[in-house]
Amino acid sequence: MYRASVETMASTCGAVILAGDPSRQVSGFVVDSRLVTPGSVFVCFLGETQDGNDYALPAMDSGAACVVMTREPSEAERAKAAEKDCCLIRAAHDDAGAFLLGLAEHYRLQQDWAVLGVTGSVGKTTTKDLLAQALATTYCVHKNVGNFNSVIGVPLTILSAPDDTQVFVCEMGMNHPGEIDAIARCARPQMACITNIGTSHIGILGSRENIALAKSEVIPWLAADASLPCCVDLEPVLALTSGDDFTASIGEAAKAAGVLVDRVGFHPDDRICASQVSLTPEGCPAFDVAFCGDRVHQELKLTGRQCVIDDLLALDLAQRAGLTLTQAASGLDSLEPQAMRAHIIQAARGFRIIDDTYNASPSSLAVAADLLCELSCEGRRIAVIGEVGELGGEAPRLHGLMGAYLAAKPIDMLVLVGDKDADAMAEAASTMGLSEDKLVRVPTAAAAASIVGPVLEAGDLVLAKGSRFVGLDAFVEEVRS
């Protein structure tokens, strides 16, 4: 974990000390004043609706040793700093993001970690968790938690790494071009994988081609620091899925940068190959994995066929990090699904809910619909589907495709939640022949709960899926209770 004096921290990032004792020691960084603990550093970010600088006073009351501000402190803030023996510093160029990224990069370059990056449109978190689980059989592993995969979350994760860390598994998310580059510069991965190139954030990036370019920003950093100390003997490697239609172009870019390219999938020529894939009655994948003559059988506790590819990517990077196939696979069968990520809930009234409400994209929605129809079900199959965000000008077309896909599934009731984009799904579903008595349109998650909840019966299977802003997690909590 990062520990230093305020003076050392400020000089590293070009920040200016405004008040307090420069020799004050600090450790622990937060961007939410409610998470401040004695001795920690509160970094003030300007958000869409909140200004972190406005929370400097409560942060000092909670024991912050230092507050990193992006404006001139008020007299009240200076007085509070003196009262609480808290340092105030001002970030260079009033850029809190650059302060945090720069400090984390400086700290990372002092470590001999093996860093393995995970990015892609869908499946990042599952792949990250699988990879960390596999590597933990041999190494002391640190990883992102929650949604700490952004240009803010990754540096916070680096600065909080335990002192015995050997391997950092770094999930790398992005909404805009340049963000993967900034994260990779900070984390300096020696190996990485790209799960797939989908349509998440296409409304911001404009096309899947631009999404592929943004994800590929990790490539130059894989071979950038051959002299950087590392406790594990690693070559620069990028693992890709053979079935993705951008694998060829991304692979060529990686090879041109001096990075080895591994392909995993379901083809016998893939470096790590899965076969004989089936689902248990609980929806968990069981399959065989082959690598260089070795073969293992896996049965995951995770839900859905899509987890197989995530598993193969994790196995590939774990093997490249020195584990045998058997070692890597041995730790994966016990990984439990996370809440709101294809998590199957057994309700007291006898029906089941596939809670996949953490977020959504067109491709992940299709996967969730497949799971709904593949699981055993004694009653009705019901899909409660919310709109998908950040699709921009592609939203009407992609929502129409999602509606058409859902209409082709053997679903007994389709409940579409939202506004105009939900209308686009409903129109496409009707056009594709879904009967009116199976289609329900509601504006909110609460309305969906009021309609669906009372009619659910023992044996029914319900899928809840949509972007977070739709709030279908509240639907799940309402109907399960």
Q: Tell whether residue 122 is among the known ligand binding residues.
A: yes
**Cα dist from 197 to 212, 369, 377, whole Å:** 6, 19, 32
Q: Name the nearest CA neighbour of 118 among 133, 108, 106, 96.
A: 133
In this structure, what DSSP letter does residue 284 have?
-
Alpha carbon distance 145, 157 (integer Å): 8
d(CA 394, CA 27): 45
Return the sign of the alpha-carbon dihedral for residues 390, 395, 399, 402: negative
Rounded CA separation 234/179 (Å): 25
In angstroms, the Cα distances linking 276 to 294, 301, 356 are 16, 17, 26
Token pair belonging to 172: 């790398």
Check: CB of residue 99 under 8 Å from CB of residue 12.
Answer: no
Q: Do the annotations mark residue 126 as ligand-binding?
A: yes
Q: Is 206 annotated as a binding residue?
A: no
Residue burial 130-142, b: 16+ Cβ < 10 Å; e: rest: bbbbbbeebbebb
How many CB atoms are located within 10 Å of the residue 73 CB? 20
Are 462 and 347 in contact by the 8 Å Cβ rule? The answer is: no
CB atoms under 10 Å from CB of 210, counted, come to 14
164 in helix, strand or coil?
coil
DSSP annotation string for 89-150: EE-GGG-HHHHHHHHHHHHHTTS--EEEEEE-SS-HHHHHHHHHHHHTTTS-EEE--TT--S
Q: Which of 323, 452, 443, 327 is closest to 384 using CA atoms? A: 452
CA dist., res. 33 & res. 51, Å (int): 11
125 belongs to an annotated ligand binding site: yes
Residue 124 assigned to a binding site: yes
Residue 225 C-beta-side C-alpha neighbours within 13 Å: 22
Residue ranges for the binding site for ATP?
A: 120-126
Residue ranges for the binding site?
A: 120-126
